[in-house]
């Protein structure tokens, strides 16, 4: 391999790393928006199928938006907080172990580097230098897999999730608001499937995943959800 080729490969590898770094928040945002579109569109289509008034459809849609956004925020807050608690407990334990038995911890770190492919003397040397530099950071990173560069932020994660859901939910809601009642079920279904497909293709493009597959996947699940609620709406609309 020429120098030029290996440099290109190196740069490509770096670019891929960037991609995976971006995937985390992107996936959360897309997931939130997807949820917002699917659940609100399904709600609107279901209520519309039950022959509700335009005002009732809008009330159901807005209530669905608020309930969904709150539930996303609460779920995200709880999940990220408990992750943060676990990481903090792990770090506290590690700190105690480092104070109590430095030599065992040095052996442990050496073992980790040997497992990753360094030979014993070099692994020992690396472990000693990193321990001198910042023992807790070295154990956190290489033993526990905790990166201190990105501490979990429950409040921020909750806000991001709720915003993404709201942005997604606003699309079918706006469509329902602007459409005459007789057309609501059809217009909201078609537009929402379009939004889902667009969102799926953008996220697949940014994440470097196959686009057609992503579009087919979100469209299928979206269509299934709306068909199910439309069926239920029709059923109860007839009974009531
Ligand atoms: Zn350790």
Quick: pLDDT tens for 180-201: 999 999 999 999 999 999 988 8
Distance CA 233, CA 238 (A): 8
Which pLDDT score, from 0 to 100, does residue 30 have?
Answer: 86
Distance 109 CA to ligand 1 centre (A): 7
Give the 3-state secondary structure of residue 108.
Answer: helix
Distance 127 CA to ligand 1 centre (A): 11
Distance CA 127, CA 17 (A): 25
Q: Within its chain, how far is the Cα of 128 from the centroid? A: 38
Tokens 């939130």, located at residue: 32
Distance 139 CA to ligand 1 centre (A): 5
Distance CA 93, CA 91 (A): 5
Which pLDDT score, from 0 to 100, does residue 23 have?
Answer: 58
- Count CB atoms within 10 A of the CB of residue 57: 25
Distance 97 CA to ligand 1 centre (A): 7
Which pLDDT score, from 0 to 100, does residue 3 have?
Answer: 63
Distance CA 198, CA 211 (A): 10
Residues of the chain with pLDDT under 50: 1, 17
Q: What is the pTM of this model?
A: 0.74
Structure tokens at 213: 């597959």
Tokens 């020992």, located at residue: 124
Distance 22 CA to ligand 1 centre (A): 29
Which pLDDT score, from 0 to 100, does residue 18 have?
Answer: 52
Question: Which residues contact residue 109 at a Cβ distance below 8 angstroms, ignoring those fewer than 6 apart?
Answer: 127, 130, 131, 138, 139, 142, 143
Note whether 48 and 181 are within 8 A (CB). Answer: yes
């Amino acid at each position: 391999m020429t120098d030029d080729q290996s440099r290109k490969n190196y740069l490509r590898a770096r670019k891929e790393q960037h991609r995976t770094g971006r995937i985390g928040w992107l996936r959360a945002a897309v997931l939130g928006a997807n949820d917002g579109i699917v659940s609100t569109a399904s709600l609107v289509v279901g209520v519309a199928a039950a022959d509700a008034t335009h005002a009732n459809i809008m009330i159901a849609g807005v209530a669905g938006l608020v309930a969904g956004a709150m539930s996303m925020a609460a779920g995200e807050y709880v999940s990220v907080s408990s992750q943060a608690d676990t990481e903090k407990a792990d770090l506290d334990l590690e700190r105690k172990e480092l104070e109590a038995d430095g030599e065992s911890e040095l052996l442990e770190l050496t073992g980790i580097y040997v497992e990753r492919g360094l030979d014993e003397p070099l692994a020992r040397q690396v472990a000693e230098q990193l321990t001198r530099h910042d023992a807790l950071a070295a154990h956190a990173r290489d033993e526990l897999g905790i990166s201190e560069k990105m501490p979990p932020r429950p409040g921020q994660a909750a806000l991001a999730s709720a915003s993404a859901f709201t942005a997604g939910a606003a699309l079918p809601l706006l469509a329902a608001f602007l459409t005459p009642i007789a057309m609501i079920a059809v217009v909201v279904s078609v537009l929402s499937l379009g939004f889902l497909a667009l969102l799926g293709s953008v996220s697949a493009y940014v994440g470097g995943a196959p686009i057609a597959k992503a579009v087919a996947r979100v469209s299928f699940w979206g269509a299934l959800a709306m068909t199910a609620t439309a069926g239920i709406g029709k059923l109860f609309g007839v009974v009531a």
